[in-house]
A = this chain, B = another copy of it.
Amino acid sequence: MSGNTTGTIFKVTTWGESHGKAIGVVVDGCPPNIPLNESDIQEELNRRRPGRGQSSSPRKEEDMVEILSGTFEGKTTGTPISLMIRNRDVKSADYDHIRDIFRPGHGDITYYRKYAIRDYRGGGRASGRETAARVAAGAIAKKVIVRKGIEIVAYTRELGGIAAEQIILADIDRNSILCPDMNAAGKMENKLEEAKKMGDSIGGIVEILVRGCPPGLGEPVFDKIDADLAKALMSIGTVKGVEIGAGIQAARMSGSECNDYITPEGFATNNAGGILAGITNGDEIAIRVACKPISSIEKEQQTIDIHGKPATLSIKGRHDVCVIPRIIPVCEAMVSIVLADHLLRQGAISR
């Protein structure tokens, strides 16, 4: 139990259910004297809002964040920063029909097995809505890492089996998919439309790049930075795989291909993805996460109810067709939180 906190020095604790009164997060361990306003956080939350692309649900989630503590006259004070987002668009009655039914692909059955009680409304704690709290905390983490020159960019690398063939970062914000390849983006949009018509959903791959990260971050042997990144990203409900650098392809390379030769100007290649022996080497950190298709689909599915009786289920409503691109700021947030924590951990050593 008590798995709702992450981080060692920069500690993030999220709370809240999809259809409870509110969701929120407490960030403890943020250094003092960092300028921070609600608008800084709201900006990141807005990037997570549905409606940026056709892959998203038309629900209106205003997600207005409120800073309840930890700042004074526009700066952090070193005390815990408490953020709250009231839940507004709540129609719990919409979920009455799944009160006793386990939705395939969701945590309904496992929460019930674990706790012998569950808030079935909108997935309760297991809802994707919880990630809004992560994005809010990530906005603060970004403030911490940006001061050291660290920048994070993430985008859609693959969607519905269509892969970006080229990475033009400037193009990311020029399409609804947040894909760095305009041509692929067009095909992805069609794929989404198609899945929508079928009452089905699709998955995809997000790539996250970290630039400007100083060497030396990461704590061997268990808290290696790639280990902490893998955990942070795998803790996002939709993620089923995490790769660093060459990732799975590294398993198909020879040592002479995979090793990044070192030159006086830096590493000749970057199969390591910026991490050697769990410590950043100063090169770009490259991570890819595989996101499964959204589990809530209109297509009829076989399942059981809480009494073990067979049932069929068709989930109507305004669900997203794909977690991408909405999951992108969540990935960025988790990476920011890990980096902020490790930056501070390394700070402790250097005194």
Given contacts A79-B125, A235-B221, A293-B250, contact A263 B310 (CB under 8 A): yes
When chains A and B are docked, how far (Å) is the Cα of A294 from the Cα of B251?
10
Residues of B within 8 A of A241 (CB): 241-244, 247-248, 250-251
**A237 neighbours in B (Cβ, 8 Å):** 277-278
Instruction: Knowing A279-B111, A350-B347, say if A240 contacts B251 (CB, 8 Å).
Output: yes
Assess the A130–B251 pair: CB atoms within 8 A. no
Of residues A6, A80, A227, A253, which shows the largest number of chain B Cβ atoms within 10 Å of its Cβ? A80
Are the C-beta atoms of B24 and A82 separated by less than 8 Å?
yes
Min CB–CB distance A342 → chain B (angstroms): 9
A344 with B1, Cβ < 8 A, contacts A72-B124, A116-B32, A259-B301 known: yes
Question: Of the 9-residue stretches A13-21, A45-53, A172-180, A181-189, which lies at the interface with chain B?
Answer: A13-21
Answer whether A235 and B224 are a contact pair too, CB < 8 Å, given A24-B82, A161-B252, A299-B256. yes
A63 at the interface (CB under 8 A from B): no
Q: How far is the CA of A346 from the CA of B221 in the complex (A)?
A: 23
Residues of B near A204 (CB, < 8 A) are 251
* CB atoms of A220 and B126 under 8 A apart: yes
B11 touches A2 (CB 8 A): yes
Which one of B31, B261, B308, B351 lies within 8 Å of A301 (CB-CB)? B261
Q: Out of B7, B75, B272, which one reaches A117, CB within 8 Å?
A: B75
**Alpha-carbon distance between A159 and B3 when the two chains are bound, in angstroms:** 36
A90 to chain B, nearest CB (A): 13
Cβ-defined contact, A297 with B259, below 8 A:
yes
Complex CA–CA separation, A345 to B344 (angstroms): 9
- Contact partner of A253 among B10, B264, B293, CB < 8 A? B293
Residues of B within 8 A of A258 (CB): 105, 203, 292-293, 295
A222 to B273, CA, bound (A): 24
Q: Could you tell me if B256 and A301 are in contact, using CB atoms closer than 8 angstroms?
A: yes
Whether the Cβ atoms of A255 and B201 lie closer than 8 Å is yes
A109 at the binding interface (Cβ < 8 Å): yes
In residues 106-129 of chain A, which contact B (Cβ within 8 Å)? Answer: 106-107, 109-111, 113-119, 124-126
A239 to chain B, nearest CB (A): 8
Q: Which residues of B contact A230 (CB under 8 A)?
A: 227, 230-231, 233-234, 242
CB contacts (< 8 Å) of A80 on chain B: these are 4, 13-16
Contacts of A256 in B (CB 8 A): 200, 297, 299, 301
From residue A296, how far is it (CB to closest CB) to chain B in Å?
8
B9 touches A216 (CB 8 A): no
A309 proximal to B (CB < 8 A) = yes
A-B pairs, top 5 by smallest CB distance, nearest first, are A107-B277, A3-B219, A3-B223, A347-B351, A2-B29
Can you list 24 A-B contacts (CB < 8 A)?
A: A2-B28, A3-B220, A15-B70, A15-B82, A31-B351, A104-B260, A110-B276, A113-B216, A158-B251, A200-B256, A202-B253, A203-B251, A205-B248, A221-B235, A222-B232, A222-B235, A230-B231, A231-B231, A231-B234, A249-B290, A251-B290, A256-B299, A264-B309, A271-B292
Q: A4-B80, A234-B244, A241-B243 are in contact. List 9 more A-B contacts (CB 8 A).
A: A2-B9, A4-B79, A13-B80, A15-B79, A17-B72, A107-B277, A230-B230, A240-B246, A264-B309
